[in-house]
Chains A and B, each alone.
Chain A
């Protein structure tokens, strides 16, 4: 056991990031529900707040709630890896408040200004216009500075501690492409094919490479804390997972290059490598089952354990199964860009990342509050409602997307008339309605989750002075 006088300053900052992240999670749901409502009633809030801005807010806040949660996860978990506080915390705190101010300013711009003429001024002050990275250029610079400071916090601490564990090494190496790829958020190319080609580097290599590695490292740290898993086992498995994910995921980028003007050879490369992507995810499922069985379901934090296990299964289902349905070029020709893709996106993001970060938030709440096992029914209700809502939305969007691909693309030949006709078919309409209903279920789950986390935070059982001891106790020292 390592005695420390209080929570590490990085862990205090982690708690702030978790509060921000959970709040953003709620904002994402609100705008998701607005967009879902506009699918049913297209005139809802029009013209004050059109569908395109509701969707922009929904997908951009998705990235932000996960990114801020990742920051929180590492600020919470890494002191136990380095056996010391992280350095540069003053700068990190400034970055946190800078992020809050930037998010508020960009949200206000998207809500009240929305779009501008095709000039440099619009790019700098209003909207860069590229999905997921619509934030104006000044805000993108703030994000880049934030990630750079985050790298300094972690790499600087490793140098100061003269101690780098295997997991910390993976995280550090992964931060370099995480930062480097974000630079692609800046150029504004007038050639659409070229612009899309590089933009996918940012989107695909963040989501299907660097984030996968990051969540793999985070889950490894969680398993050591929650199940007292052996470090050597967890680290070895992490290396294998990273190797397999990168081996299939890097060239798997080709499945985004099928229909945007890239050379034809991407059809074969993208199809082949992305079709291999479920295989490492299957390995993760086996690992999750093995860990649960090996430790006879004994864990120190039930919610964190169940959310971690769901991360493995959800990743396989959302990214693996749903992705495999539409990744071969012959199928993708009809399915890409339909609600089918949205269905895959929802389940993959939720399974791969949402579940993983919620697991760490429960872990942090337990450790900071000095709770024993987290009991009660609230977390179970949140778990049940959120997952019923998410898988319900995924299923509904799948039905709507299949109808869209069938009527609009395969039968109608992708004409505008076919697009409109497909939107009127009962399969599509009922799918869109059911997505809205399950969206409400998901929102209810979020409300229970947020309420549970707030209640746990308020019911702190130990003074903060002792919480730091709990935070590093038994954290992968085997």
Chain B
């Protein structure tokens, strides 16, 4: 790993997590407010996160196991907000019934 490579990798990893968070935040907001514009921003965030991931996979000096792990994380980031939100909706619906 070159000196500059390690800095770029670290920035890439930070951006990867940050964009995943932005996607989750915007996705949840778009679902709650039923706003298409927010949904588009959410998808754009995920697309940006995927681009960062692809760049890491292509150019980073990280080993193949770490790259597979990051790829799996990238896929998980797509589903986590959807699964979490669906679960929360069900939880709140059943909570309202029981309360």
Indicate if the CB atoms of B13 and A286 lie closer than 8 Å.
Answer: no
User: Which of B17, B29, B32, B63 interacts with A278 by CB under 8 Å?
Assistant: B17
Indicate if the CB atoms of B95 and A233 lie closer than 8 Å.
Answer: yes
A322 to chain B, nearest CB (A): 7
Given the known interface contacts A230-B95, A294-B92, the answer about A283 and B80 at a Cβ–Cβ threshold of 8 Å is yes
Chain B residues within 8 Å of A411, by CB? 3
A295 to chain B, nearest CB (A): 10
- What's the Cα separation between A411 and B7 when bound, in Å? 12
User: How would you classify the secondary structure of chain A's contact residues: helix, strand, loop or mixed?
Assistant: helix
- How many A residues touch B, CB cutoff 8 Å? 42
Indicate if the CB atoms of A282 and B81 lie closer than 8 Å.
Answer: yes
Interface 1/0 per residue, A254-282 and B, CB below 8 Å: 00000000000000100110011011001
Interface 1/0 per residue, B65-99 and A, CB below 8 Å: 11001000100110011001100110110111011
Interface residues of A in 314-328 (CB under 8 A from B): 316-317, 320-322, 324-326, 328
Given the known interface contacts A283-B84, A290-B28, the answer about A325 and B21 at a Cβ–Cβ threshold of 8 Å is no
Indicate if the CB atoms of B24 and A285 lie closer than 8 Å.
Answer: yes
- What's the Cα separation between A287 and B3 when bound, in Å? 39
- What's the Cα separation between A296 and B29 when bound, in Å? 12
Q: Which of B9, B66, B77 is packed against the most chain A CB atoms within 10 Å? A: B66
User: Which of B14, B77, B92 interacts with A321 by CB under 8 Å?
Assistant: B14
- What's the Cα separation between A282 and B20 when bound, in Å? 8
Interface residues of B in 38-81 (CB under 8 A from A): 61-63, 65-66, 69, 73, 76-77, 80-81
- What's the Cα separation between A231 and B95 when bound, in Å? 8
- What's the Cα separation between A410 and B4 when bound, in Å? 8
Q: Which of A61-69, A300-308, A330-338 contacts B (4 or more CB under 8 A)?
A: A330-338
Chain A residues within 8 Å of B7, by CB? 402, 405-406, 410
Indicate if the CB atoms of B32 and A282 lie closer than 8 Å.
Answer: no
A348 to chain B, nearest CB (A): 13
Of chain B, the residue at the smallest CB distance from A331 is B10
- What's the Cα separation between A331 and B2 when bound, in Å? 11
A262 to chain B, nearest CB (A): 20
Interface residues of A in 221-238 (CB under 8 A from B): 230-233, 236-237
Indicate if the CB atoms of A290 and B80 lie closer than 8 Å.
Answer: no
- What's the Cα separation between A326 and B10 when bound, in Å? 7
Interface residues of A in 186-235 (CB under 8 A from B): 230-233
Indicate if the CB atoms of B28 and A321 lie closer than 8 Å.
Answer: no
Indicate if the CB atoms of B16 and A324 lie closer than 8 Å.
Answer: yes
Indicate if the CB atoms of A330 and B1 lie closer than 8 Å.
Answer: yes
Chain B residues within 8 Å of A162, by CB? none
Given the known interface contacts A286-B84, A294-B92, A411-B3, the answer about A331 and B69 at a Cβ–Cβ threshold of 8 Å is no
Chain A residues within 8 Å of B14, by CB? 321-322, 324-325
- What's the Cα separation between A271 and B21 when bound, in Å? 20
Chain A residues within 8 Å of B80, by CB? 279, 282-283, 286
Indicate if the CB atoms of A286 and B20 lie closer than 8 Å.
Answer: no
Indicate if the CB atoms of B88 and A286 lie closer than 8 Å.
Answer: yes
- What's the Cα separation between A233 and B96 when bound, in Å? 9
- What's the Cα separation between A313 and B28 when bound, in Å? 13
Of chain B, the residue at the smallest CB distance from A410 is B3
Given the known interface contacts A286-B88, A406-B3, the answer about A324 and B17 at a Cβ–Cβ threshold of 8 Å is yes
Indicate if the CB atoms of A293 and B29 lie closer than 8 Å.
Answer: yes
Chain B residues within 8 Å of A334, by CB? 6
Given the known interface contacts A282-B77, A405-B7, the answer about A290 and B88 at a Cβ–Cβ threshold of 8 Å is yes
User: Which of B3, B85, B99 interacts with A286 by CB under 8 Å?
Assistant: B85
- What's the Cα separation between A383 and B33 when bound, in Å? 26
A382 to chain B, nearest CB (A): 24
Chain A residues within 8 Å of B10, by CB? 325-326, 331, 335, 402
Q: Which of B4, B69, B95 is packed against the most chain A CB atoms within 10 Å? A: B95
Indicate if the CB atoms of B81 and A325 lie closer than 8 Å.
Answer: no
User: Which of A289, A330, A402 interacts with B25 by CB under 8 Å?
Assistant: A289
Interface residues of A in 415-429 (CB under 8 A from B): none
Chain A residues within 8 Å of B95, by CB? 230, 232-233, 236
User: A90 within 8 Å of B by Cβ?
Assistant: no
User: A478 within 8 Å of B by Cβ?
Assistant: yes
Indicate if the CB atoms of A293 and B6 lie closer than 8 Å.
Answer: no
Chain A residues within 8 Å of B32, by CB? 289-290, 293-294
Per CB-CB distance, the 8 closest pairs between chain A and chain B, nearest first, are A293-B32, A410-B3, A233-B95, A325-B14, A289-B28, A230-B95, A324-B17, A286-B84
5 A-B residue pairings within 8 Å (CB atoms): A237-B91, A285-B24, A321-B21, A328-B62, A330-B62
7 new A-B pairs (CB below 8 Å) besides A278-B21, A286-B85? A233-B91, A233-B95, A279-B80, A313-B25, A324-B14, A325-B13, A330-B66
Q: Which B residues fall within an 8 A CB radius of A?
A: 1-4, 6-7, 9-11, 13-14, 16-18, 20-21, 24-25, 28-29, 32-33, 61-63, 65-66, 69, 73, 76-77, 80-81, 84-85, 88-89, 91-92, 94-96, 98-99
